[in-house]
Amino acid sequence: MERFGKSIRRHWLAWAIGACLASMGSSAWAVDLMPLRAQFALPDDRVDFAEVKLVVDRLIDPATDTVSVRRELDRWEGVVRSQVPAGATARQALDALLKTLYQPGSWNEGRPFEYDLADPLGRNPKAKQLAVYLATRKGNCVSMPILVAILGQRLGLPLTLATAPDHLLVKFADDTQQAWVNVEATAGGFKFDSSYERETGITPAAIENGLYLRPLTPRESVGVIAGALMEHYGAREEGDAILEVADLALAANARDPVAMVWKANAYYLQLHQRYVSRYPDAADIPPAQHGDFSRLSHENLAWFAQAERLGWVQRTPEQEQIYLQSIQREQAKRGL
């Protein structure tokens, strides 16, 4: 029986997009994911980023006032439209959108939307909810690009979401350049692919396999937005729920590294809850359950291996420290 214990090499990896970036008990998961399934079932031309985000936020926090959020989105859409000049090109409309959100002026009462330097690693889950971001105007690598994508979609702009390690960004199809342009929503500006590759440690294999910096289809973007839900269930140690959401995301995009890692985590949670917490010595696991124990151990390892084969690499402490130092420099520049 010792071989069962030795088979578990990779267990749990904390994962949270937002860094720009206890003992396990039994899970009592009983959440109805039908609203999310309905979003994944929509064809690309009917995916509404606002509706997807509200479905996810409400699954995380059932008290989310979706009516108020929709009203605020309507208001901001109107404000942006008032800044778009007559006969504007798509690029001019995008510039008006970014100006409205990020430059102080009468259009935003002198209170632009800003990156929350007090939470540089995105560890406050509530800050990723749209209602909180609209109220505080302090955002992160989840809420900020999603709001740009929502308002841009309402304006009919050719844009979508994309990912980098621990990061979301917006891709805009710029006709004037005949190319996709990266909108860095945490700062309201633009950024080259090469900058993301250098700063976030994207491997050549990850680019070649389409893990990062690829314009996502609307359905693939549903999976990205649902990443916050997997993180939520991870904090609650609900492996079954993580697995269901991860499977939905992977059905939409088999190259979703966040969903792969969360799926590996989900199998570890199931393994821990069913066996490790109950049988500290693997030799005590009943023979009838050896097959299930081996299956969960295998799946935990296999999904990490799948992500690694495609070019995903785990963020190192050194990379996180470099990022935090950049935040400290920005805080000093702003006198915070």
pLDDT (mean) for 301-324: 86
> Is pLDDT at 148 greater than 80 in this prediction?
yes
In terms of DSSP H, where are the helices of 255-289? 257-271
In eight-state DSSP terms, residue 289 is G
Place of tokens 């999976």: 223
**117-131 residue pLDDT tens:** 888 777 888 999 999
CA distances from 306 to 138, 221, 300 (A): 35, 21, 10
User: What b/e sequence results for 241-259 when a residue is b if at least 16 CB atoms lie within 10 Å of its CB, and e otherwise?
Assistant: bbbbbbebbbebbebbbbb
CB atoms under 10 Å from CB of 158, counted, come to: 15
Spatial neighbors of 334 by CB under 8 A, at least 6 apart, are 117
- E strand or H helix at 162, and its extent? strand 159-164
Q: What is the pLDDT of residue 120?
A: 74
- E strand or H helix at 321, and its extent? helix 317-334
Q: Using CA atoms, how far apart are residues 213 and 123, in angstroms rounded to an integer?
A: 23
Least confident stretch, 59-68, 153-162, 249-258, 324-333: 324-333
Which residue(s) pair with 189 in the sheet? 184
| Parallel/antiparallel/unpaired status of strands 189-191 and 179-184 | antiparallel
Q: 81: burial class by Cβ within 10 Å (0-12, 13-18, 19+)?
A: middle
Q: In this structure, what token pair is assigned to residue 163?
A: 């990912």
Q: Do the beta carbons of residue 91 and residue 174 sit within 8 Å? A: yes
Mind giving me the DSSP string for 25-74?
A: ---------HHHHHHHHS-GGG--HHHHHHHHHHHH-TT--HHHHHHHHH
Which residue(s) pair with 171 in the sheet? 160, 182
Phi and psi based region of residue 335 (left: phi greater than 0; alpha: psi -120 to 50; beta: remaining): left
**151-206 residue pLDDT tens:** 999 999 999 999 999 999 999 999 888 999 999 999 999 999 999 999 889 999 99
In eight-state DSSP terms, residue 114 is E
| Parallel/antiparallel/unpaired status of strands 167-174 and 189-191 | unpaired
Model confidence, pTM = 0.89
Q: What is the pLDDT of residue 218?
A: 98
Q: Percent of the chain, pLDDT > 90? A: 77
Nearest to 282 by CA among 294, 298, 270, 264: 294
